[in-house]
Amino acid sequence: MKEFITHIYYFPLPFLWLLIFFILFLKKEKFFLYVKYLTLVFYICLTPIFSFLLAYPLINITDKHNSNIKYEAVLVPTAGIYKDNNNKWYPSYNSVLRASQGEKLAKKLNIPLIVSGGQLFINSESEAETVKNIIDYDKLIIEDSSKNSYETSVNLIKVFETHNIDIKMPLLLVTSPQHSLRMHLSLRTQGFNVKNYSSFESFKFDYKLFLPDIATIGKNNISLYEYTGILFYLFKRHIRI
């Protein structure tokens, strides 16, 4: 799925395909008009306000963390690893952010911290093992078989059974904002009572929201990837809405 997104409609590739289509198939008198429309849409897609609105359903549709709820565990799904020149593996930046926030919450609530992430590459460590090296917590539980969100939700059932954790009791999910919905739906479909810890930046309304920003390219692609993942999971019946 990643390769398809990267080569077909990773932003701003759709605008390139449309421009090529205009060049090949539009008559000259219509070409400049449609290029003007395309330029306007491209401008809008580069603004922070568009990026925020694109991500909004992913980050605000799920059940949120409530300090009055008694949780049974904190779950941190990992987000990739990388290898240095000495063939040593490290957790990705997003994995570190998720793990540090999850550890902080688990210690505060004095409940188990579950880190889930399997082996992505031949001869590599599991994602969970790389994260384990940066966590100092005696209630850490490692689940190192899952390679995606769906597998995490399925394999977590065995983890709960092994450690005598009630699947019906609240589970606090700590992940990246745009990943929250797909992970939440995956867990809920398997019967978990999951709540999302929200770490999304506050929204400040000012004129900069309407000016193009290079950072929106990465944010838009994250949202597009998550929407594609949700559609794929719906097609495979991994999740129910």
Q: Same domain, yes or no, for 7 and 78?
A: no
Of 131, 64, 65, give the one whose Cα is nearest residue 100.
Answer: 131
Phi first, then psi: give them for residue 160, nearest 5 degrees: -65, -40
- Assess whether 207 and 191 both reside in one domain: no
186 lies in the same domain as 216: no
Residue 218 confidence (pLDDT): 94
Does some domain include residue 229? yes
10 Å CB burial of residue 145 (0-12, 13-18, 19+) is: middle
Average the pLDDT over 160-175 and give the result: 95
Encode pLDDT of 177-215 as tens digits.
999 999 999 999 999 999 999 765 666 788 999 999 999
- pLDDT of 62 strictly over 70: no
- How far apart CA 212 and CA 73 sit, in angstroms, is 41
Q: Give the C-alpha separation, 113 to 75, whole Å.
A: 6
Which pLDDT score, from 0 to 100, does residue 17 have?
Answer: 93
Residue 168 is part of a domain; what is its CATH number? 3.40.50.620
- Looking at the fold, whether 179 and 217 belong to one and the same domain comes out as no
% of the chain with per-residue pLDDT over 70 = 95
Phi, psi angle pair for 133, to nearest 5°: -70, -15
The predicted pLDDT at position 122 comes to 84
Q: How many distinct structural domains can be found in the chain?
A: 2
pLDDT of residue 123: 84
Instruction: Give me the chain's average pLDDT, please.
Output: 92
pLDDT digits (tens, 9 = 90+) for 27-57: 888 999 999 999 999 999 999 999 999 999 9
Q: Residue 238 has what pLDDT?
A: 97
Q: Are residues 36 and 83 in the same domain?
A: no
Q: What is the mean pLDDT of residues 147-153?
A: 97
pLDDT tens column, 68-81: 999 999 999 999 99
- Residue 5: the pLDDT is 65
What was the pLDDT predicted at 132? 95
Mean pLDDT (whole number) for 151-163 = 97
Residue 85: count other Cβ atoms within 10 Å of its Cβ: 5
In a domain, 17, yes or no: yes
Give the pLDDT confidence score for residue 127 in this predicted structure. 96
Q: Is residue 65 part of a domain?
A: no
| Whether residue 36 sits in one domain with residue 77 | no
Do residue 148 and residue 112 come from a single domain?
Answer: yes
Residue 167 lies in a domain: yes
> 149 and 208: one domain?
no
Same domain, 13 and 94: no
Domain-embedded: residue 11 = yes
- pLDDT average, residue stretch 11-18: 92
CA distances from 239 to 36, 131, 181, 191 (A): 40, 27, 11, 11
How sure is the predictor about 8, in pLDDT bands with cuts at 50, 70 and 90?
Answer: confident
- The mean pLDDT value for 95-106 works out to 97
pTM to 2 decimal places: 0.91
Separation between Cα atoms, residue 104 and residue 123, nearest integer Å: 31
Structure tokens at 200: 């999304």
Mean local confidence (pLDDT), 126-132: 96
Residue 175 domain boundaries: 73-196
Residue 154 inside a domain? The answer is yes
Q: Which residue did the predictor score with more confidence, 172 or 5?
A: 172
